[in-house]
Amino acid sequence: MKCLSHLWPGLFVLASVGFGQTALAHPDIEEFAKTAFAEQPVTVDCTLEEGTASSCYKITVNYMPKDLDIGPFCPATLNDAGGIWDWTGVNAKLYRVDGAFLGMLDELGYSFFDEDGTVHTVDIATERPTVDHACINVSADESVEITMLLPVTPVMAGSPRPLGTVSKVGVALDGVPIFSDAPSIQQTGHMPALDTCGGHIDPGGWYHWHATSTDIETVFEKQGVAADCALDQDSAALFGYAFDGHAMYGSTEADGAEVTGLDACNGHIGATPTGEIYHYHATDEFPNLPACLVGVQAVGNFSTTATAGVGATRAGADGRNEPPRPGDGTSGQMPPGFSEAAETLGVTPEELVRALGDPQAGRPDMSAAAKALGITEDALRATLPPPPDH
């Protein structure tokens, strides 16, 4: 994992002087849409990742907002246009998922369609892929609720927390969770297509963003993508709050001016409607989200009532499958106890497994894994379940 310390000396200067109170702002629950919550947010005691006792806003939302119009994701045939995908191989860029894009992938050895032009589509929540390459279109589970914790008072971390694949980023003002990059086709063989606002449904059945959706058309314009998002677009608007409590804005300042003086996480102290505070900005490239988080998250800050996927608390129940895992393109199983350990450590099960590395390669480097997760080695060793032969 790339070290970021040499990229943002300005942020270390700010941290060294305590990031004065004028530079920090509390998440404002009043900024959220009235329809965002399944129940009214409350303030609860929580523990931050570095062990500090704190207070957090406890936010509970439904599987998706009632009036949110989502899709399309996978096209039915090569003659149709689906959502979008950030292809990271040869000819890397953001694409509309259509016949031209799928034809290019076919030439590169990734065949997502039959001879008659029918696109391979699979709902991985209820069925296993039967082909090497399929477009993933997950069914929703309307019963799911999601619970998230936001620190009432942001606390700066000693060093930035990089965001890898499917890392927790934050929550949008509409109540939709925000995550970093989705798994690549090269990792799983399959494509969990995003809709034209940059979101899709998790294997647990709930919708989430992989982009700053209210400023995604800035990205489309720069990268020449023929797509439109149904949401109102405003490059200067507040989009949501990161899980460290800092605000996330679009790609321009509140007055529409160009953003300057950003650190490696794409944040800075600047003018906002609530004053001069530290906040993140969207980028004009996909994914248009922070590359890292500067603050400390709460332990156990993301859980769902879902039976699969990120944050699942009833994994394996009711017949929903876990998502395809990197390596073999097929659905895999999380090692026993790992979901619970990840929740205790304040990371996703995927982040924990990734940090520990391939179990076939031998014992994991616990020191390196702890560093990658931003925790102490002692905390990691104390929380991991014992090996099966223990």
Stretch 232-246: mean pLDDT: 97
**Residue 353 — pLDDT band, cuts 50, 70, 90?**
confident
pLDDT at 218 over 70: yes
What is the number of other CB atoms lying within 10 angstroms of the CB of residue 132? 14
Largest Cα span, the chain:
64
pLDDT at 333 over 80: no
Stretch 99-105: mean pLDDT: 98
The pLDDT score that the predictor gives to residue 21 is 45
**Residue 267 — pLDDT band, cuts 50, 70, 90?**
very high
C-alpha pair distances (Å), 1 with each of 91, 184, 340? 24, 17, 24
What is the number of other CB atoms lying within 10 angstroms of the CB of residue 300? 17
Rounded to 10 degrees, the C-alpha dihedral 58/172/276/263 comes to 110
Quote the percentage of the chain above a pLDDT of 70: 84
Q: What is the mean pLDDT of the chain?
A: 85
* Lowest mean pLDDT segment, chosen from 209-223, 261-275, 309-323: 309-323
Give the whole-angstrom CA distance, residue 343 versus residue 168.
12
The pLDDT score that the predictor gives to residue 343 is 79
HSE value, Cβ hemisphere, 13 Å, CA-based, for 366: 10
For 101-125, give one letter per residue: b (16+ CB within 10 A) or e.
bbeebeeeebebbeeeeebbbbebb
For CA atoms 343, 349, 354, 356, the dihedral sign is positive
- The answer to whether 255 and 186 are in contact (CB under 8 A) is no
User: Could you tell me which residues are beta bridge partners of residue 121?
Assistant: 135
The pLDDT score that the predictor gives to residue 32 is 97
Q: Which two tokens stand for residue 113?
A: 């369609």
Quote the percentage of the chain above a pLDDT of 90: 64
Give the whole-angstrom CA distance, residue 203 versus residue 318.
13
Stretch 349-355: mean pLDDT: 74
Three-state SS at 133: coil
The pLDDT score that the predictor gives to residue 332 is 36
The pLDDT score that the predictor gives to residue 363 is 58
How many contiguous H segments (helices) and E segments (strands) does the chain have?
Answer: 8, 18
What global pTM score does this model have? Answer: 0.79
* Lowest mean pLDDT segment, chosen from 84-88, 149-153, 158-162: 158-162
**Residue 202 — pLDDT band, cuts 50, 70, 90?**
very high
Q: pLDDT by residue (tens digit) across 275-315? A: 899 999 999 999 999 999 999 999 999 999 998 888 887 65
Give the whole-angstrom CA distance, residue 193 versus residue 210.
11
In the chain, where does DSSP find H-type helix?
A: 9-16, 99-107, 185-188, 216-223, 338-345, 349-356, 366-373, 377-383
